[in-house]
Amino acid sequence: MRQTPVNYDIVNRKIRENNITDIGNCTIREIKKLIDTIEMETGEKYIRMEMGVPGLPPAKVGVEAEIAALRNGVAAIYPDIYGIPSLKSEISRFVKNFLNIQISTEGCIPTVGSMQGSFAAFMMLNRLKEGRNKTLFLDPGFPVHKQQMRVLGLQWETFDVYDYRGEKLAAKLESYLSKGEISSVLYSNPNNPSWICFTEKELKIIGDLANKYDVIVMEDLAYFGMDFRNDFSKPGQPPYQPTVANYTDNYMLFISSSKAFSYAGQRIGMMAISDSLYNKSFPDLLKYYSSSNFGHAMIFGTVYALSSGTAHSAQYALAAILKAVNDGEYNFVEEVKEYGEKAKIMKKMFTDNGFNIVYDKDEDQPIADGFYFTFSYPGFSGSELLAELIYYGISAITLGITGSERTEGIRACVSLVLRNQLPILEERLRWFQKDHPIQ
């Protein structure tokens, strides 16, 4: 039997019992379940890097406001589908303060997590115009978005931006948009899983081409303000979180409260639609909706049909969080900086032990340290590497399931790794390198 940090036989048995034939193709939740069962049987704690969940306590001001709202009886009352007024105006203030863009309160809509925002958008954006029924993903990306497309029976196109950074992005993007079938483009910035951040030059390319081909950009800001190379934390003061909204009016933003405010459990996020798009009319919408007006159809057609709005008490929580942030009383960026600090230490441990960072640059700049990073090991595919790391008490996901073409890569999420586990991580990585000497 091999000597590995976690009992070799038990790991093998658990893989069999969970009916796993290829770890590289497992979903995040399948990996989570596998590791849970191994931990339970061996008593050995893993360095858990598979799931992107917040590792910090929820924003306190939100919890207090939510409790107060519940005590006031909001649980008995249906919330308005378009959101409570105080939240709508705080969202509008937030985008002004931290993105420096103007969006009317009407287009600021709470959603059941930003996942519901993307689901609602996918449903509508691919029905705006006959023949324009595909979304283009600037990958790598969040696998659940593709799952949303699948369950909606929608089609998509994708390419990995790794080889198309800077000027090269323009021709590549245009080669898709010029075919005339793409309704919309989605990317996350900072990016899950690679933590690359588009530069202003790249955002301008995306915005200009969205204008040229009348395509709608969905900008997923799940990790708002978390490119810690810049301080985006001061309301109403530059620098601002970069956004495509500076270059086109054809946009929708998805802003999650899960990571920025550690509020994942209450499933509340924000959709912010540009005024121009909100007020636009698309006659083809009349096949599905009572109005051809985009904003009206989104709220009274799509969001109504999906969940009839967003949990009432959570809206009070988010309104209170945003008010504190907008008033400069709560520095949300400072609260989550811990992720970047841990990433810096962890990335060094990996590279000191023979691993490489896969997505390592934003054009000519080293990428930021943040919630995720990507790594590989010489001679291993991502799938083989993950399968092997499981014996070393390290769990993650392969980049293969994220639309990445870097099939040698693995995504690590730093959030659940505790500071006191870092020496254990280092020891396991050293053990791994000793057992797998680089040729």
Give the binding site for ligand PLP (CB under 6 A). 52, 113-115, 142, 188, 192, 220, 222, 256, 258, 264, 269
Question: Which CB, 293 or 404, lies closer to ligand PLP?
Answer: 404
The alpha carbon torsion through 424, 32, 22, 375 (nearest 10 deg) reads: -50
Residue nearer to ligand PLP on the CB measure, 50 or 426: 50
Distance in Å, CB of 255 to ligand PLP, minimum: 8
| CB closer to ligand PLP out of 11 and 186 | 186
**Residue in the shown chain whose Cβ atom is closest to ligand PLP:** 113
- The span from the CA of 304 to the CA of 291, in Å, is 14
Could you tell me the smallest distance in angstroms from the CB atom of residue 16 to ligand PLP?
30
- Least distance between ligand PLP and beta carbon 115 (Å): 4
- State the minimum distance, in angstroms, from the CB of residue 90 to ligand PLP: 17
State in angstroms the smallest separation of the CB of 314 from ligand PLP: 11
Question: CB of residue 287 vs ligand PLP: minimum separation in angstroms?
Answer: 28
Closer CB to ligand PLP, residue 120 or residue 357? Answer: 120
What is the spatial distance between Cα 300 and Cα 81, in angstroms, rounded to a whole number? Answer: 7
Q: State the nearest-atom distance from the C-beta of 271 to ligand PLP, in Å.
A: 10
Whether the CB-CB separation of 397 and 411 falls below 8 Å is answered with yes
CB-wise, 47 or 115, nearer to ligand PLP? Answer: 115
Select 7 or 192, whichever has its Cβ closest to ligand PLP.
Answer: 192
Decide whether 275 or 338 has the Cβ nearer to ligand PLP. Answer: 338
Residues whose CB is less than 8 angstroms from the CB of residue 316 and which lie 6 or more positions away in sequence, other chains included: 65, 66, 68, 69, 74, 84, 86, 87
